[in-house]
Amino acid sequence: MKIPDIQNQSDSRNIVIDKVGVKGLRYPIVVEDRINKTQHTVAELDIYVELPHYLRGTHMSRFVEILHHYHQEALIGNLENFLNELKDSLQAEAAYININFPYFISKKAPISHISSILSYDCEFSASLKEEYDLLIGVRVPVTSLCPCSKEISAEGAHNQRSIISIKARYQEFVWLEELIEIAESSASCEIYSLLKRVDEKYVTEKAYNNPKFVEDIVREVTLKLEQDDRITGFLVESENAESIHSHNAYALISRLHK
Amino acid sequence: MKIPDIQNQSDSRNIVIDKVGVKGLRYPIVVEDRINKTQHTVAELDIYVELPHYLRGTHMSRFVEILHHYHQEALIGNLENFLNELKDSLQAEAAYININFPYFISKKAPISHISSILSYDCEFSASLKEEYDLLIGVRVPVTSLCPCSKEISAEGAHNQRSIISIKARYQEFVWLEELIEIAESSASCEIYSLLKRVDEKYVTEKAYNNPKFVEDIVREVTLKLEQDDRITGFLVESENAESIHSHNAYALISRLHK
Amino acid sequence: MKIPDIQNQSDSRNIVIDKVGVKGLRYPIVVEDRINKTQHTVAELDIYVELPHYLRGTHMSRFVEILHHYHQEALIGNLENFLNELKDSLQAEAAYININFPYFISKKAPISHISSILSYDCEFSASLKEEYDLLIGVRVPVTSLCPCSKEISAEGAHNQRSIISIKARYQEFVWLEELIEIAESSASCEIYSLLKRVDEKYVTEKAYNNPKFVEDIVREVTLKLEQDDRITGFLVESENAESIHSHNAYALISRLHK
Amino acid sequence: MKIPDIQNQSDSRNIVIDKVGVKGLRYPIVVEDRINKTQHTVAELDIYVELPHYLRGTHMSRFVEILHHYHQEALIGNLENFLNELKDSLQAEAAYININFPYFISKKAPISHISSILSYDCEFSASLKEEYDLLIGVRVPVTSLCPCSKEISAEGAHNQRSIISIKARYQEFVWLEELIEIAESSASCEIYSLLKRVDEKYVTEKAYNNPKFVEDIVREVTLKLEQDDRITGFLVESENAESIHSHNAYALISRLHK
């Protein structure tokens, strides 16, 4: 039986489609881990190509088929090959993949030194047009404590959970763990899943002695990223879930298009 | 043209369906407002009936049709009539409606007395089986400050945004505003959209002088609800977005089925 | 009592912050309605300014204070004034506001002509740097039916709910309703909250006779927007919740930066 | 240094707290896999205890500490031991854990037999009061095709992605895969991540020849669960993302408390 290939029809509307493909595909992956070599996790994938003006449709089954060519353990180390194969298979001028996943790190509490595991939402975002481009990203939960509230109040200071996001482009390899450390060291205090009372005393006092506005956080991250010669572009955001409001405080610095 | 009525076919599987209907229908509504008499807002509706064992399907278009009989301003005041009409139209033994909506209240900052608007997610949940039953619900953002962190630390105390949820059944009318006040007065401090520096000093110090565990919050709400003779059943939750963790602290007390 | 102004401290890090402000502020608004003149709805607001390198922080309370200067009914018609006031008050080179809200339109079913209300997520996104810029946006639920599935199958064709998103910049006023009509007329069939059986027959057959790939949808919207002289830039997306997969099909065409 | 234990203070309000603990804790886990023996995935955990009336607070750090006693590979096989240790450590009358995680199954396309991976949101929900109780749950994406739309239309029929949810209590071991098969066999057609054209023809025609209302789906699942002697209680839901509406169709049958 011959089954017609409708997607392969020619298209006379003469319109290139910037991105077309699959979105929200969940897939188990293995990522490199600075301590344990590898880590199993679960990703959500968006995979797109640019569609030439003369084709009516792309072949979405090939996106998933090519993905399965890369055994789940090999995908992350072969993103450029994956995008190349996608471009060739689909006669595309450009190909894109976004990979979002939780990444787990074992941390020791600051005083008791008891270990616990904290998760960070991370991202690889790769594209291949004339050149290959890769952005890596982390979203890091931290504590922020308000300098104004501390200064004007007789006692105490409002503080809250904040999320610091960093996306970075590099010319020499950078670990996700390194971006996470940059974020954590730029907040009022870092966060742990397990804190005994001696640790809770420590993080409370550390945050109180280390107040940061949302503006301070993104500027401190920026200073650190600018001083790292491996990093060639970045975007920093901080979003603070203000404990005294029901809206958030937010700041963004972009050095992606320098 | 005669169009067949498939839903109306008889069903031999002999299984009552507890709830069947429409979910996630967005609809503009008008609700009663203690200060301004009425308030326009936007609701998400779930509407269900119990389906008798002898019918293959319900008629979902009638759910929306009957909803439109109740001009948007009249729905909330006529929930029992609405459910009665639904039961009759669909040969149902029971009918249900959940109405979720943001509700806005103008609040004055504690010292500067500048007004601003805060939103609260509210809910009406009505059912009609042999008897009519109505639960009203509020979700109230507040500040909680940790008593342990305060006690053990030289200075400061971790605090965070928390959401206190109350669902209540009453025998005499209770305003949403009354449940909101019960929640706000049971936290370390209430929340405002607009705070000048004098106000920020006040709320910081008030929270510091009024530390509450998640357990304290649900117990204080419980005491107040038990002392109100109009209220015949309730469920209280508090979820605190811990500023020192990336998970939440949570507590629940249910007195719905007493 | 003199309360220190910490935000107003000078900053020596010499880093401009691209955007800083409040995010996720909920606020009741009134928008223009082509049929009913005005419509009450509920918005979520993000409001930012650019922070000069010499200031440590912005004054977030002023964002909400200036918002309240604009009585809720006047905000949408005065976005440029609002941004100007914000820039002046905060010594900023740029100011931004995003306003996201559900917008309701009463629609008549295609054959029975019974009216019902459908909601569309809409957006105003305004910025003021040297010049004022406004993007308006709509997210439109529609039905898409797969041309390939129809062609290769003996009977039937898979179809699904899709969301077509349009953001547009204009030089002459364009109604949200006009963008919605462009989206609905580019799908396999438009969507209604209430359909009687005669209507369900109509929309089923219309979609079957009008198959569209996700690629067809964004190209047809593009053709219509390019033919409208009032529109000077746009971005179109379609995301189809494929009924035969658990991931989505997605396409994007951007003509924003031409 | 002696650090005071505030949570351990006695409480005079005389109110038992039904549930108190941690919510939204992300944690890597290993689950049993019928084909591959084990599978690495990522869970979100809620862990609660009942708090006696005489204690002011629970010790939340112990929840995470006890969790870490169970090496990640052993947790799922030791839920009753975990809850017992939690009860003892926290002087609690009851303990609870909910574990939500994506679970991946490799499936062969129906005609081409090409393999691809599909993810299912699964759940273990365990409690220990006087007795140990375990519910296992699956959320299964499927295709549903409307019998009414098919019957009344000259050609075609609206269809959509639906989610069938099953929670079940058993007296003899039941695999997640078995509940998933019950759900998939009760829909118009099952779903795959990868379908070649021959497969797309097959699933389109299979769904068209197998129309199901949301009511049919929950009744067929119910019949199958009632016929399985291992299963002693269950709850079934189906939610269909109607392609002709922007709200969903929903049905629920509960046999949990029989």
Task: Report pLDDT digits (tens) over D18-47.
Answer: 999 999 999 999 999 999 999 999 999 999
pLDDT digits (tens, 9 = 90+) for A243-257: 999 999 999 999 997
Q: Is C116 helix (H, G, I), strand (E, B) or coil?
A: strand
Give phi and psi for C157, each to the nearest 5. Answer: -170, 140
Integer Cα distance of D115 and D44 in angstroms: 28
Residue found by looking up tokens 């020791």 in the block: A108
Question: Is A109-115+125-258 the same fold as A16-107?
Answer: yes
Contacts of residue C88, defined as CB under 8 A and 6 or more positions apart, other chains included, come to: none
- Residue A256: CB atoms within 10 Å: 12
Tokens describing residue D258: 């029989």
Residue B258 has pLDDT above 70, yes or no: no
The nearest alpha carbon in chain D to A41 belongs to: D41
Q: Are C182 and C136 in contact (CB under 8 A)?
A: no
User: What b/e readout covers C14-39, taking b as 16+ CB neighbours within 10 angstroms?
Assistant: ebebbbbbbbebbbbbbbebeeeeeb
Mean local confidence (pLDDT), A127-149: 97
- Facing residues of D97 across strands? D47, D126
* Cβ contacts of D157 on chain C, cutoff 8 Å: 156, 204
- Interface contact C252-A219, CB threshold 8 A: no
CA of D192 vs chain A CAs: smallest distance (Å): 11
- Facing residues of C28 across strands? C42
- Interface contact C247-A25, CB threshold 8 A: yes
Of A221, A206, A216, nearest to A240 by C-alpha is A216
Largest Cα–Cα separation, chain B: 82
Alpha helices in B140-233 (DSSP H): 147-152, 176-184, 197-208, 214-226
Measured CB to CB, residues of chain A less than 8 Å from chain B are 118-119, 141, 143, 145, 148-150, 152-161, 189, 191-193, 195, 197, 200-201, 203-205, 207-209, 241-247
Mean local confidence (pLDDT), D173-198: 97
Tokens describing residue C61: 């309370």
CA C182 to the chain's CA centroid: 14
* Cβ contacts of B149 on chain A, cutoff 8 Å: 200-201, 204
With contact defined as 3+ CB pairs under 8 Å, the chains touching A are B, C, D
Counted across chains C and D, CB pairs separated by less than 8 A come out at 134
- Interface contact B153-A207, CB threshold 8 A: no
Integer Cα distance of B148 and B240 in angstroms: 15
Contacts of residue C250, defined as CB under 8 A and 6 or more positions apart, other chains included, come to: A19, A20, A21, A22, A23, A46, A48, C214, C237, C238, C239, C240
State the pLDDT at residue A1.
Answer: 57
CA of D155 vs chain C CAs: smallest distance (Å): 6
CA of A217 vs chain D CAs: smallest distance (Å): 25
Q: Are C19 and C46 in contact (CB under 8 A)?
A: no
* Cβ contacts of D115 on chain A, cutoff 8 Å: 68
Of C114, D148, D244, nearest to B4 by C-alpha is D148
pTM over 0.95: yes
The nearest alpha carbon in chain D to C208 belongs to: D156
* Cβ contacts of B222 on chain D, cutoff 8 Å: 15
Counted across chains A and C, CB pairs separated by less than 8 A come out at 138
Among C151, C195, C213, C244, the strongest candidate for a mutation testing the D interface, having the largest count of D CBs within 10 A, is C244
CA of A254 vs chain D CAs: smallest distance (Å): 30
Angle at C50 between CA C49 and CA C53, to 5 degrees: 140
For D215, the closest of B22, B51, B222 (CB atoms) is B51
For C18, the closest of A26, A247, A252 (CB atoms) is A252
pLDDT digits (tens, 9 = 90+) for D77-128: 999 999 999 999 999 999 999 999 999 999 999 999 999 999 999 999 999 9
Contacts of residue C37, defined as CB under 8 A and 6 or more positions apart, other chains included, come to: none
- Facing residues of C47 across strands? C22, C97
Contacts of residue B167, defined as CB under 8 A and 6 or more positions apart, other chains included, come to: B123, B125, B135, B136, B137, B234, B235, B256
pLDDT digits (tens, 9 = 90+) for B130-189: 999 999 999 999 999 999 999 999 999 999 999 999 999 999 999 999 999 999 999 999
* CA–CA distances in Å: residue B60 to residues B70, B89, B129, C20: 17, 11, 19, 47
pLDDT digits (tens, 9 = 90+) for A27-79: 999 999 999 999 999 999 999 999 999 999 999 999 999 999 887 778 999 99
> Which sequence spans correspond to the domains of chain C?
16-107, 109-115+125-258
Integer Cα distance of B230 and C59 in angstroms: 44
The nearest alpha carbon in chain D to C202 belongs to: D153
- Facing residues of C133 across strands? C127
Considering only the top CATH level, what class is C109-115+125-258? alpha beta
With contact defined as 3+ CB pairs under 8 Å, the chains touching B are A, C, D
Measured CB to CB, residues of chain B less than 8 Å from chain C are 1, 3, 5, 25-28, 39-42, 61, 64-65, 68, 102, 104, 114-117, 119, 193-198, 201
- Facing residues of C125 across strands? C98, C135
Integer Cα distance of B201 and B128 in angstroms: 49
CA of C111 vs chain A CAs: smallest distance (Å): 32
CA of B174 vs chain D CAs: smallest distance (Å): 24
Residue A158 has pLDDT above 90, yes or no: yes
For B104, the closest of C28, C65, C117 (CB atoms) is C28
For chain D, how far is it from start to end, CA to CA, in angstroms?
55
* CA–CA distances in Å: residue C172 to residues B223, C129, C168, C227, D214: 60, 20, 11, 14, 47
The nearest alpha carbon in chain C to A60 belongs to: C249
CA B206 to the chain's CA centroid: 27
Tokens describing residue B144: 């909680």
State the pLDDT at residue A2.
Answer: 75
DSSP for residue D167? E
pLDDT digits (tens, 9 = 90+) for B179-220: 999 999 999 999 999 999 999 999 999 999 999 999 999 999
Alpha helices in C14-160 (DSSP H): 60-69, 79-89, 147-152
Mean local confidence (pLDDT), B228-249: 98
- Residue D251: CB atoms within 10 Å: 27
Count of helix runs (H) and strand runs (E) in chain A: 6, 9
In CATH, the architecture of C16-107 is Roll (3.10)
Q: Is D155 helix (H, G, I), strand (E, B) or coil?
A: coil
Count, residues in chain A: 258
Of C145, B12, B118, C152, nearest to D244 by C-alpha is C145
- Interface contact B28-C198, CB threshold 8 A: no
Residue found by looking up tokens 């997969």 in the block: C245
CA B124 to the chain's CA centroid: 6
Which residues, given as ranges, of chain C have pLDDT below 70? 1, 258
CA of B41 vs chain C CAs: smallest distance (Å): 6
Integer Cα distance of A18 and C238 in angstroms: 12
State the pLDDT at residue D1.
Answer: 58
Helix axes D60-69, D79-89, angle to 10 degrees: 140
Q: Are C214 and C144 in contact (CB under 8 A)?
A: yes
Mean local confidence (pLDDT), A145-164: 97
State the pLDDT at residue C1.
Answer: 57
- Interface contact C145-D156, CB threshold 8 A: yes
Exposure of D179 in the CB half-sphere (CA atoms within 13 A): 30
Q: Residue D14, exposed/middle/buried by CB under 10 A (0-12, 13-18, 19+)?
A: exposed
For D116, the closest of A68, A119, A197 (CB atoms) is A68
pLDDT digits (tens, 9 = 90+) for B51-60: 999 999 999 9
State the pLDDT at residue B86.
Answer: 97
The nearest alpha carbon in chain D to C192 belongs to: D245
* CA–CA distances in Å: residue D185 to residues C208, D112, D144, D179, D189: 26, 20, 11, 10, 7
Tokens describing residue C101: 């809200």
Could you list the beta-strand ranges (E) of A34-112. 37-51, 95-108
- Interface contact B25-D250, CB threshold 8 A: no
Exposure of D113 in the CB half-sphere (CA atoms within 13 A): 0
State the pLDDT at residue C170.
Answer: 97
- Give D257's pLDDT tier (boundaries 50, 70, 90): confident
State the pLDDT at residue C186.
Answer: 98
